[in-house]
Chains A and B, each alone.
Chain A
Amino acid sequence: MSVLVIGDGPVAEHIRATVNSDVDAAVIVTDVDGRRGVGPIETLDDATIDAVFEQPMQRVITGLQRAHAAGAKRIVVIVPTIGMSGGDRHAVHAALAEAARITVKSAARQWGADGITVNAVALAPEEFGVDPKVSGPVAIAPRALTGAVDPANAVTWLCSDAAAHVTGQTVVCDGGLWM
Chain B
Amino acid sequence: MSRLEGRVAIVTGAGQGVGEGIARRLAREGAVVVVAARRAETGEPVATSIREAGGRAECIVTDVADGESVQNCVDETVRRFGRLDIMVHNAFMGGIPHKLENARIDKHWTNMSRTGVWASLFCARAAMPHLVASSKRPAGTGGGRLILITSPSGVEGSANIPLYSPAKAAQRAIAKSLAREWGPHGVTVNCIGPVAGSPALLTAFERNPALQDAIEARTPLGRVGDITEDIGSVALFLAGDDSAFVTGQTIICDGGSFLGL
B240, chain A: closest CB distance, angstroms: 23
A88, chain B: closest CB distance, angstroms: 4
Query: Does B157 lie within 8 Å of A68, measured CB to CB?
Result: no
Residue of A nearest to B183 (CB): A88
A3, chain B: closest CB distance, angstroms: 19
Stretch at the interface among B17-25, B45-53, B158-166, B204-212: B158-166
Additional 8 contacts, C-beta under 8 A, given A96-B170, A105-B156: A46-B118, A61-B103, A65-B102, A84-B173, A89-B181, A99-B169, A106-B163, A110-B100
User: Of B103, B154, B155, B173, which is within 8 A of A91 by CB?
Assistant: B173
Stretch at the interface among B7-15, B83-91, B123-131, B217-225: B123-131
A: residues with CB less than 8 A from B are 40-42, 44, 46, 49, 53-54, 57-58, 61-62, 64-65, 68-69, 82-92, 94-111, 134-136, 168
Task: A174 to B149: give the CA distance in the assembly, Å.
Answer: 31
B: residues with CB less than 8 A from A are 67, 99-103, 105, 109, 113, 117-118, 121, 124-125, 128-129, 154-159, 162-181, 248
Complex interface: chain A residues within 8 A of B101 (CB):
64-65, 68-69, 111
Q: Are A86 and B180 CB-contacts (below 8 A) given A42-B125, A106-B159?
A: yes
Query: Does A53 lie within 8 Å of B170, measured CB to CB?
Result: yes
Query: Does A61 lie within 8 Å of B105, measured CB to CB?
Result: yes
Query: Does A98 lie within 8 Å of B169, measured CB to CB?
Result: yes
Q: Are A91 and B158 CB-contacts (below 8 A) given A65-B100, A96-B170?
A: no
Task: A110 to B58: give the CA distance in the assembly, Å.
Answer: 43
A31, chain B: closest CB distance, angstroms: 15
Closest 7 CB pairs of A and B: A86-B176, A105-B157, A106-B162, A102-B169, A99-B166, A98-B173, A109-B159
Residue of B nearest to A92 (CB): B121
Q: Are A109 and B158 CB-contacts (below 8 A) given A41-B124, A96-B170?
A: yes
Query: Does B109 lie within 8 Å of A65, measured CB to CB?
Result: no
Complex interface: chain B residues within 8 A of A53 (CB):
117, 170
Residue of B nearest to A65 (CB): B101
Complex interface: chain B residues within 8 A of A97 (CB):
173
Query: Does A106 lie within 8 Å of B180, measured CB to CB?
Result: no
